[in-house]
């Protein structure tokens, strides 16, 4: 009993000592603003976000910045994560540095590993650990303490490299004068690297010729496949548009189809009207562009012209479907499947050399004239006047 009391008394005296001797954990700082300039030091981790972020205060912990323009101009004891449109690390980073942006520039030393991803990457500092860079244009000015791996288009190496350097390039590789690589240089590129005579590579050079451009036979095959895909997509789009227009506006489709049963002279006049619209409208747009007032009107007229041309070719297919239905099915109405069938037949007709495109053009001209007449009648229709009978 006496021993228990003595132990409890000693613990009660020692407990405050242990409590006060425990180290305090520094608090992290969180900053966010549209335009942010940080000049006060942080004893813990620091997090900042903004359209423009400039960090000029030392950070005792880790630093993470997200912004449009990011500048870190203060020493960072821990790791640094920089993400932005333009990223610039001007001061030393004690731990690892990871930078992601459109333009990445590293000017301070890096105590750990360096990971940089961007369109343009420039490393003027020196990382003690390994380096991984992915970009379009990469420049290493001061070497690296560890292994280096680069995936880029054009690459320039300079400085002293303590480890191996592995490169995968789609463009040109340059090793500047007085560059020293204590390990091996292995690179894959479509052409030999430009290695200065004063450069020293102790581990040797391994070159793998890799062409990222397809061979002539592969280019022809890709061209044929591309043309085929384009034709298929265009056909599917035309079929869908023809089906939609015939299904949503059956009255307009029937009115265009009914004009084919007019007198031959009227059909010829309608086709000539479509030809005049096709030819005269672009000339009128150009004339309107010569005047300051007519620029806006010319733009609107050109949009209407482009829409009319598209509708003319679509309704040319609907016209074929409507004529076939009226001829063989004896049905007066035009359904959506008639438009799809007519567009498919018109597309097959256009595959016939010379004659096919000419038939499609004549049908499109007739459709343009018919649509112009129908729009004109709708816009300037006369109101019927009826007299009241007492």
Q: Got the DSSP string for 195-209?
A: E-TT-EETT-EEEEE
Higher-pLDDT residue of 229, 216? 229
Is pLDDT at 168 greater than 90 in this prediction? Answer: yes
**Percentage above 90 pLDDT, the chain:** 37
Coil, strand or helix: which one is 303? helix
Q: Is residue 6 within 8 Å of residue 22, measured between CB atoms?
A: no
Is pLDDT at 31 greater than 90 in this prediction? Answer: no
- C-alpha of 161 from chain center: 36
Q: What is the mean pLDDT of residues 268-291?
A: 87
19-23, 71-75, 329-333: which is most confident: 71-75
Higher-pLDDT residue of 123, 39? 123
d(C-alpha 128, C-alpha 339), whole Å: 70
Q: Is the dihedral of CA 335, 340, 343, 348 positive or negative?
A: negative
Higher-pLDDT residue of 92, 250? 92
How many residues comprise the chain?
390
Is pLDDT at 17 greater than 50 in this prediction? Answer: no
pLDDT value for 211: 74
pLDDT value for 97: 95
Q: What is the mean pLDDT of residues 54-66?
A: 90
Please, what is the average pLDDT of the chain?
84
pLDDT value for 36: 84
pLDDT value for 9: 39
pLDDT value for 26: 57
Is pLDDT at 23 greater than 50 in this prediction? Answer: no
Q: Got the DSSP string for 313-346?
A: HHHHHHHHHHHHIIIII---S--HHHHHHHHHHH
The DSSP letter of residue 259 is G
286 pLDDT tier (thresholds 50, 70, 90): confident
pLDDT value for 27: 63
pLDDT value for 248: 86
pLDDT value for 4: 42
Is pLDDT at 176 greater than 90 in this prediction? Answer: yes
Coil, strand or helix: which one is 45? coil
pLDDT value for 385: 41
pTM above 0.85, yes or no: no
Q: Which residue has the tokens 């990971």?
A: 115
382 pLDDT tier (thresholds 50, 70, 90): low
Q: What is the mean pLDDT of residues 233-261?
A: 84
**Percentage above 70 pLDDT, the chain:** 89
Q: Got the DSSP string for 348-362?
A: HHHTSTTHHHHHHHH
Q: What is the mean pLDDT of residues 153-163?
A: 94
Q: What is the mean pLDDT of residues 223-237?
A: 86
- C-alpha of 85 from chain center: 15
Q: Is residue 88 within 8 Å of residue 121, measured between CB atoms?
A: no
Higher-pLDDT residue of 229, 265? 229
pLDDT value for 11: 38
Lowest mean pLDDT among 170-174, 199-203, 237-241: 237-241
Map out the domains of the chain as residue ranges: 29-209, 216-379
298 pLDDT tier (thresholds 50, 70, 90): confident
Each residue's pLDDT tens digit, 301-347? 889 899 989 999 998 888 888 888 777 777 777 888 888 888 888 88
Helical pair 250-258 and 216-248, crossing angle rounded to 10 deg = 100
Higher-pLDDT residue of 323, 22? 323
Is pLDDT at 3 greater than 70 in this prediction? Answer: no
């Amino acid at each position: 009993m006496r021993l228990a009391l003595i132990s409890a008394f000693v613990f009660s005296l020692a407990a405050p000592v242990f409590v006060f001797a425990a180290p305090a954990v520094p608090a992290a700082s969180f900053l966010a603003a549209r335009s942010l300039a940080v000049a006060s030091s942080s004893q813990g981790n620091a997090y900042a976000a903004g359209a423009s972020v400039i960090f000029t205060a030392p950070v005792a912990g880790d630093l993470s910045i997200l912004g449009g323009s990011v500048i870190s101009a203060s020493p960072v004891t821990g790791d640094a994560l920089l993400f932005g449109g333009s990223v610039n690390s001007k001061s030393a980073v004690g731990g690892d540095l990871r930078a992601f942006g459109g333009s990445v520039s590293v000017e301070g030393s890096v105590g750990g590993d360096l990971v940089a991803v961007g369109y343009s990457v420039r490393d003027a500092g020196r990382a003690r650990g390994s380096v991984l860079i992915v970009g379009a244009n990469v420049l290493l000015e001061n070497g690296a303490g560890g292994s280096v791996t680069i995936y880029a288009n054009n690459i320039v190496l300079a400085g002293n490299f303590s480890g191996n350097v592995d490169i995968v390039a789609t463009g040109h590789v340059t090793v500047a004068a007085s560059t020293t690589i204590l390990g091996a240089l292995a690179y894959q590129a479509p052409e030999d690297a430009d290695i200065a005579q004063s450069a020293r590579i102790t581990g040797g050079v391994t070159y793998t010729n890799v062409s990222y451009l397809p061979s002539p036979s592969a280019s022809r095959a890709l061209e044929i496949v591309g043309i085929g895909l384009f034709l298929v997509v265009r056909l599917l789009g035309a079929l869908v548009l023809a089906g939609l227009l015939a299904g949503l506006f059956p009255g307009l489709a029937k009115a265009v189809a009914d004009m084919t049963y007019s007198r031959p002279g009227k059909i010829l006049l309608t086709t000539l009207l479509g030809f005049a619209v096709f030819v005269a409208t672009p000339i009128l747009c150009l004339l309107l562009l010569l005047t300051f007032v007519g620029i806006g009107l010319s733009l609107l007229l050109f949009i209407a012209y482009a829409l009319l041309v598209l509708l003319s070719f679509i309704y040319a297919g609907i016209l074929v479907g409507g004529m076939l239905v009226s001829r063989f099915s004896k049905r007066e109405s035009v359904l959506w499947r008639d438009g799809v069938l007519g567009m498919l037949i018109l597309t097959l007709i256009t595959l016939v050399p010379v004659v096919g495109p000419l038939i499609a053009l004549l049908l499109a001209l007739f459709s343009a004239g018919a649509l112009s007449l129908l729009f004109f009648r709708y816009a300037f229709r006369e109101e019927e006047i009826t007299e009241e009978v007492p």
